[in-house]
Chain A
Amino acid sequence: MKRSRRNFIKGSALASTSVMLPNFLKAFSTPLMSSRSGKILVVVQFSGGNDGLNTIVPFNNDIYYQLRPTVAIPKKEVIQLDNGLGFNPAMQALKSLYDNGEMSIINNVGYPNPDRSHFRSMDIWQTGSNSDEYLSSGWLGRYLDQNCLGCDIAHHALEVDDDLSMALKGTKRSGFAVADPNLLKRTASNEFLKTIAHHHDHEHEENVAYLYKTLTDTQSSADYLAEKYKTHRSTVNYPSSQISNKLRRVAKLITADADTKIYYVNHGGFDTHVGQKKRQAKLLKQYAEAMAAFTKDLKQNNLFEDTLVMTFSEFGRRVKQNGNHGTDHGAANNVHLIGGKLKKAGFYNEGPNLSNLENGDLIYDIDFRKIYANILEDWLGANSNAILGKGFRNLGII
């Protein structure tokens, strides 16, 4: 085997101990890549409808405790923050981010005429549509359609799964789905696929041409990502969970300075109709610990300031608990932003008003598309009107 200089360094004793390794390695591969430009966005999707009230707990609110005799988090267990709100105890790992002003929580986020079906509400969040409107492209997909800088690269927006979410599907361009870059490289670049990609007749009808283009783009992205993937070996200890694995993969690519600017990560299982407390605690703990490792990893590589994380779920849950120590589908919810450069950290607005409910559900006062508008304009430098339609005033948090 030809031993390249990079392989040599990687295999040396220095590699396993040095915290400086990533940057050190980067020096050898710079000719291949563009220098870092712009910001990184990471979207974390909680699927199944995360109970926001037990995530950000209103621990001074009597109604909360009355309506949830067995599901509420006891005041003494809550990680108390400000304004009578605090974290679910499972989110201890995020406390220091909050204390450092690296986390922002937006309460009561939703949209008019909320839909309580998982599918439909997720569709609304991912497409950025009104609840009586059906769009066949996602908000980030439409961002890609806008010819943003570098958007012609297939993996500009990457989902860490093997199926691509609607959020990343545009009409002209789409994001890239890959759970494991090494595995993708093996599938995309088998001998025959390489052969046909090189030797096909280049005169095609439009759809055939589109398939060949997608094939060659996939092959070059797969090669590129697998290569980048090798570059960085994190010194941070990531806990073992699916969300943690995914965020570790994201950190690997960010640290290797891959030219992916948007990452999309799914964390599922939040549909807690039965026995909510244990199940939600487990999921939130996985999330919080994974996020703590992820942010630590980025900080060690001086990349945290370039990164913004948005965490959302398709809806919150009903205020009153149900008969099975769980909660049913609700409406408004909180959204979390994490990043090294937030303009407004901590709580953006007051917690939910539990004495003014609509059909037993929280009423939204911030349209989720205002958060999107803020991200699009101030983080991605895009024109949000063209992507979301007019009238979503930027929140000014980012």
Chain B
Amino acid sequence: MSNEKMIQHIYWRAGFGLSPTEWQQKKSWTKKKAINDLFTKAYQAQKIVLREEVTSLADTMENLSMEEKIRLDKKAKSQLIYQGSDWVERMASPDESPFLEKMCLFWHGHFACITKEPVLGAKQLNTIRKNALGNFYDLLLGMSKDVAMIRFLNNQQNRKSSPNENFARELMELFTIGRGHYKEQDVKEAARAFTGWSSDKKAEYIFKIRQHDFGRKTFMGKTGNFDGDDILKIILERKETAQFISRKAYRFFVNEKVDEKHVNQLSDIFYNSNYDISTLMRSIFESDWFYDSKNIGVRIKSPVELIAGLIRGLNIKFNNPKTIALIQKALGQVLFVPPNVAGWEGGKAWIDNSTLMTRLNLANYIYLATDVSLELKNELETKGKIKNIKKIDATIDFDPLIKYCGIDSYENITKTLSDFFISPKINLAREMMQPFLIKSNQEDFIKILTMRLLTLPEYQLC
């Protein structure tokens, strides 16, 4: 494995690829230097802020007129779109920490939660940002007290008099230990422990003491007057939890096909570090097996990774943030709107005939600003006509790429560009490129070749 390939691999898996300028600078770095670069930048990242604090929370709308409600609702919806698009642009920006954004994307899919409230979505994302590379216990506690999550999983309705098990069940099934490692009785008892973990009218977390069940609970073989915090601690004492999270991280960052030996190594490390997420991630990136050829260029990029990578690689400016939202929808991954609490399935599930065509043609759509005409279904709760993707209003800045290629032979430029853009092994058959190798000026050649490379199915993988 060439050093260059390893650098490309780590920046794609721990981030969203590199811009031509970054690539030029970093491709000769050592792995160690790259890993330090990624971690250092991630620790320096700041909280995100909304473009505008707008809310359509029912509680704040009580005394408003119908027109006012509709206006606020509309505003909240477009704010939600901005929020997802802004996040994609942060992922793509060389000024931000790609690794932190990647970790947030991982946890965003892990703690999958649907919210229509931009304010709550931003709050949740900030909780994730704060703990994404910290301790898993803090992250878990933060998510258990997160208002969007509390509302999404009905903990708002979890009261001593009538417990609601939704949060307690997903906590174990999807967020921590996984199926098969707890009993129905554990779900019931955990639900009792989380009674009263609620939110107030201002959408702040609140412990409703009168709704909380202070009685004795027997949970996973232990008995006591447990509250939610105790439940989390008991779950984390179980090694299966470290295994569950490590496996998920392995499948996300390394390979969907799990090597049990490596996952066992990771979960030992994670467990012994007392659930320190940075330790887990460092041991992935510092391992030798992470750079095995069977782990390189085999991951199908998620839609959001694909878009962010394109923006970064081509220095794309979208003139309308809505476009990024529509592409997310067309490709099947809308940030803040996972399909359900189990999150995005990933891998081959991203691919069907329609998403593949859009993926392969995406760079060209952007380049040509063509009429895309995709007929997409409406969101379930919206009325009116289907909003089709009409035109992708964006510009590409080829200058860095042209500068990077320098003056060179067409054969060499082909190699330079394909090394930069393509992760899997590739054999560019002459027949494939021949018709496009005709003499044109070098700038046009670079542009056309770039578009061709981005149309290859191989570009869909990292």
Residues of A participating in the B interface, judged by any CB pair closer than 8 Å: 47-49, 117-120, 122-123, 132, 134, 136, 154, 161-166, 169, 174-180, 183-184, 187-188, 190, 192-193, 195-196, 198-201, 204-208, 210-212, 214-215, 217-218, 221, 242, 266, 268-269, 271, 274, 279, 314, 324
Interchain CB contact under 8 A, B352 and A177: yes
Contact with A along B323-350 (1 / 0, CB 8 A): 0000001101000010111100101110
Within 8 A of A (CB), among B351-387: 351-357, 360-361, 373-378, 380-386
Nearest CB of chain B from residue A285's CB, rounded to whole Å: 15
Interchain CB contact under 8 A, A199 and B353: no
Nearest CB of chain B from residue A262's CB, rounded to whole Å: 15
| Chain A: CB-nearest residue to B341 | A134
Interchain CB contact under 8 A, A210 and B348: yes
With a cutoff of 8 Å between Cβ atoms, the chain A residues found around residue B13 in the complex are none
| Residue of B330, B356, B380, B386 with highest tally of chain A CB at under 10 A | B380
Interchain CB contact under 8 A, B357 and A187: yes
Nearest CB of chain B from residue A211's CB, rounded to whole Å: 4
Interchain CB contact under 8 A, A120 and B380: no
A134-B344 Cα distance, complex, nearest whole Å? 11
Interchain CB contact under 8 A, A187 and B377: no
Take A136-B342, A187-B357 as given contacts and tell me if A164 and B380 are in contact as well, using a CB distance cutoff of 8 Å: no
Interchain CB contact under 8 A, B383 and A279: yes
With a cutoff of 8 Å between Cβ atoms, the chain A residues found around residue B339 in the complex are 119, 123, 166
Interchain CB contact under 8 A, A211 and B381: no
A276-B132 Cα distance, complex, nearest whole Å? 45
Interchain CB contact under 8 A, B357 and A188: yes
| Chain B: CB-nearest residue to A160 | B375
Which of B135-143, B198-206, B401-409, B454-462 is found at the contact surface with chain A? B454-462
Contact with A along B154-177 (1 / 0, CB 8 A): 000000000000100100001000
Interchain CB contact under 8 A, B351 and A211: yes
Interchain CB contact under 8 A, B380 and A268: yes
Interchain CB contact under 8 A, A119 and B377: no
Select B455's contact among A132, A188, A193, A218, beta carbons within 8 Å.
A193
With a cutoff of 8 Å between Cβ atoms, the chain B residues found around residue A161 in the complex are 375-377
With a cutoff of 8 Å between Cβ atoms, the chain B residues found around residue A154 in the complex are 353
In the complex, number of A-B residue pairs with CB atoms less than 8 Å apart: 155
Nearest CB of chain B from residue A48's CB, rounded to whole Å: 6
Take A184-B357, A208-B458 as given contacts and tell me if A48 and B383 are in contact as well, using a CB distance cutoff of 8 Å: yes
Select B375's contact among A175, A179, A192, beta carbons within 8 Å.
A179
With a cutoff of 8 Å between Cβ atoms, the chain B residues found around residue A208 in the complex are 297, 424, 457-458, 461
Select B332's contact among A163, A212, A215, beta carbons within 8 Å.
A163
Interchain CB contact under 8 A, B377 and A178: no
Interchain CB contact under 8 A, B354 and A164: yes
With a cutoff of 8 Å between Cβ atoms, the chain A residues found around residue B456 in the complex are 196
With a cutoff of 8 Å between Cβ atoms, the chain A residues found around residue B435 in the complex are 195
Q: Does B147 contact A (CB under 8 A)?
A: no
Q: Does B114 contact A (CB under 8 A)?
A: yes
| Chain A: CB-nearest residue to B460 | A211
Select B353's contact among A195, A218, A266, beta carbons within 8 Å.
A218
Select A324's contact among B66, B114, B373, B452, beta carbons within 8 Å.
B66
With a cutoff of 8 Å between Cβ atoms, the chain A residues found around residue B332 in the complex are 163
Interchain CB contact under 8 A, B380 and A314: yes
Q: Does B427 contact A (CB under 8 A)?
A: yes
| Chain A: CB-nearest residue to B165 | A132
Q: Does B432 contact A (CB under 8 A)?
A: yes
With a cutoff of 8 Å between Cβ atoms, the chain A residues found around residue B432 in the complex are 195-196, 199-200
With a cutoff of 8 Å between Cβ atoms, the chain A residues found around residue B426 in the complex are 201
Q: Does B288 contact A (CB under 8 A)?
A: no
Q: Does B277 contact A (CB under 8 A)?
A: no
What 5 pairs between A and B have smallest CB-CB spacing? A179-B375, A211-B457, A118-B380, A134-B342, A177-B354
Interchain CB contact under 8 A, B460 and A201: no
A201-B348 Cα distance, complex, nearest whole Å? 21
Interchain CB contact under 8 A, A201 and B429: yes
List 17 other contacts, CB 8 Å, given A200-B429, A212-B457, A314-B380.
A119-B340, A122-B380, A136-B345, A165-B377, A176-B352, A177-B354, A178-B354, A180-B373, A188-B353, A199-B431, A206-B298, A207-B300, A207-B347, A208-B424, A210-B348, A242-B385, A266-B377
Interchain CB contact under 8 A, B353 and A221: yes
With a cutoff of 8 Å between Cβ atoms, the chain A residues found around residue B357 in the complex are 184, 187-188, 218
Interchain CB contact under 8 A, A214 and B424: no
| Chain A: CB-nearest residue to B429 | A199
A183-B384 Cα distance, complex, nearest whole Å? 23
Nearest CB of chain B from residue A277's CB, rounded to whole Å: 14
Nearest CB of chain A from residue B209's CB, rounded to whole Å: 26
Chain B residues touching A, range: 35 or more
With a cutoff of 8 Å between Cβ atoms, the chain A residues found around residue B348 in the complex are 207, 210
Nearest CB of chain A from residue B426's CB, rounded to whole Å: 8
A-B contact pairs, 7 of them (CB 8 A): A47-B378, A134-B342, A154-B353, A175-B352, A195-B431, A218-B353, A242-B386
A322-B206 Cα distance, complex, nearest whole Å? 29
Interchain CB contact under 8 A, A48 and B381: yes
A165-B348 Cα distance, complex, nearest whole Å? 15
Interchain CB contact under 8 A, A163 and B377: yes
With a cutoff of 8 Å between Cβ atoms, the chain A residues found around residue B174 in the complex are 134
Interchain CB contact under 8 A, A163 and B329: yes
| Chain B: CB-nearest residue to A134 | B342
With a cutoff of 8 Å between Cβ atoms, the chain B residues found around residue A48 in the complex are 380-381, 383
Nearest CB of chain A from residue B76's CB, rounded to whole Å: 16
With a cutoff of 8 Å between Cβ atoms, the chain B residues found around residue A268 in the complex are 377-378, 380, 382-383, 386
With a cutoff of 8 Å between Cβ atoms, the chain A residues found around residue B458 in the complex are 208
Interchain CB contact under 8 A, A214 and B431: no
With a cutoff of 8 Å between Cβ atoms, the chain A residues found around residue B373 in the complex are 180, 183
A49-B380 Cα distance, complex, nearest whole Å? 8
A120-B376 Cα distance, complex, nearest whole Å? 19
Interchain CB contact under 8 A, B353 and A134: no
Take A134-B341, A177-B354, A200-B429 as given contacts and tell me if A271 and B380 are in contact as well, using a CB distance cutoff of 8 Å: yes
| Residue of A162, A190, A206 with highest tally of chain B CB at under 10 A | A162
A327-B429 Cα distance, complex, nearest whole Å? 61
Nearest CB of chain B from residue A118's CB, rounded to whole Å: 4
Interchain CB contact under 8 A, B360 and A134: no
A212-B458 Cα distance, complex, nearest whole Å? 9
Interchain CB contact under 8 A, A47 and B377: yes
Take A196-B456, A207-B348, A208-B457 as given contacts and tell me if A218 and B381 are in contact as well, using a CB distance cutoff of 8 Å: no
Take A47-B380, A169-B352, A183-B373 as given contacts and tell me if A215 and B340 are in contact as well, using a CB distance cutoff of 8 Å: no
Nearest CB of chain B from residue A162's CB, rounded to whole Å: 4
Take A161-B376, A163-B330, A196-B456 as given contacts and tell me if A207 and B381 are in contact as well, using a CB distance cutoff of 8 Å: no
Interchain CB contact under 8 A, A119 and B114: yes
With a cutoff of 8 Å between Cβ atoms, the chain A residues found around residue B431 in the complex are 195, 198-199
| Residue of B297, B456, B457 with highest tally of chain A CB at under 10 A | B457
Contact with A along B286-300 (1 / 0, CB 8 A): 000000000001111
A153-B432 Cα distance, complex, nearest whole Å? 27
A48-B339 Cα distance, complex, nearest whole Å? 16
With a cutoff of 8 Å between Cβ atoms, the chain B residues found around residue A279 in the complex are 383
